[in-house]
């Protein structure tokens, strides 16, 4: 069953009313055929005539612990807040719209989707030189989750936002592990810093929240408008 433009607008507005900083709709079929899945990965739990509601939650300066990993369920305060928003939207879709939906796991290997790719198709932003989603309103300071919706809805993107074209890339210069030295993002080098942060700074979750390196995010000019 196909939804209408009014359905899409109503669902996006509900997500914003529940606390999402940004929200948009991505087609599952379009995501499967996008560059994100060029390597052959599959969306295990989604069917192609369904849609994704992509949610972004912005981290403001007033919430510094937003992204610190701790021993509580959900990993970070920001992720726990996203769970609340997702569950509120899911309940509303079932009760008011008679639409089945489900929150997707964050990890691809557990049934999730490529969130940055979905966010681009939903019109939330673009991939920056720091390999992060860059949004017009919040720069890279957002965290993402997705809800699978059992209805085909109109996409809300992609857009034409392109802020990195003339940037001198402080994000790449400030990486402590030189993860962009080759000109592309090196996930293995980034992982080295994450392990350092976890075991040296966070005492392996036991004594303090883990404050992972965010230099590539926080040095972006759009992170500090």
Co-location of 135 and 188 in the same domain: no
Domain end: 99, 120, 149, which one?
Answer: 149
Half-sphere exposure of 144 (CA within 13 A, CB side): 27
Which distant-in-sequence residues (6+ apart) come within 8 Å of 37 by Cβ?
A: 31, 43, 114, 117
Residue 160 covered by a domain: no
120 within some domain: yes
For residue 130, give its domain range.
5-149
Q: Does 186 share its domain with 140?
A: no
Same domain, 13 and 105: yes
What's the token pair of residue 140? 């890279």
Six-digit token string for 103 = 């929150």
Domain count for the chain? 2
**pTM for the predicted model, two decimal places:** 0.91
Both tokens assigned to 79? 């992720």
Tens digits of per-residue pLDDT, 37-59?
A: 776 555 554 566 799 999 999 98
Shared domain for 11 and 114, answered yes or no, is yes
Q: Is residue 190 part of a domain?
A: yes
Residues 142-193: pLDDT tens digits? 999 999 999 999 999 999 999 998 899 999 999 999 999 999 999 999 999 9
């Amino acid at each position: 069953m196909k939804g209408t433009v009014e359905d899409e607008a109503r669902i996006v507005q509900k997500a914003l009313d529940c606390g999402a900083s940004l929200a948009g709709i991505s087609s599952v079929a379009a995501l499967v055929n996008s560059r994100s899945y060029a390597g052959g990965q599959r969306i295990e739990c989604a069917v192609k005539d369904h849609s994704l509601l992509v949610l972004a939650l912005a981290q403001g300066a007033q919430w510094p612990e937003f992204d610190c990993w701790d021993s509580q369920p959900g990993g970070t305060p920001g992720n726990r807040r996203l769970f609340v928003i997702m569950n509120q939207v899911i309940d509303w879709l079932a009760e008011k719209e008679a639409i089945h939906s489900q929150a997707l796991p964050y990890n691809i290997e557990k049934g999730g989707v490529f969130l940055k790719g979905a966010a681009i198709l939903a019109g939330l932003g673009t991939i920056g030189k720091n390999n992060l989603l860059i949004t017009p309103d919040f720069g890279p300071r957002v965290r993402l989750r997705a809800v699978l919706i059992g209805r085909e809805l109109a996409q809300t993107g992609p857009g034409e936002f392109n802020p990195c074209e003339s940037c001198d890339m402080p994000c790449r210069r400030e990486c402590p592990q030189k993860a962009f030295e080759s000109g592309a993002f090196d996930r293995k080098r980034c992982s080295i810093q994450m392990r350092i942060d976890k075991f040296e700074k966070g005492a392996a979750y036991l004594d303090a929240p883990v404050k992972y390196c965010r230099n590539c995010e926080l040095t972006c000019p759009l992170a500090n408008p």
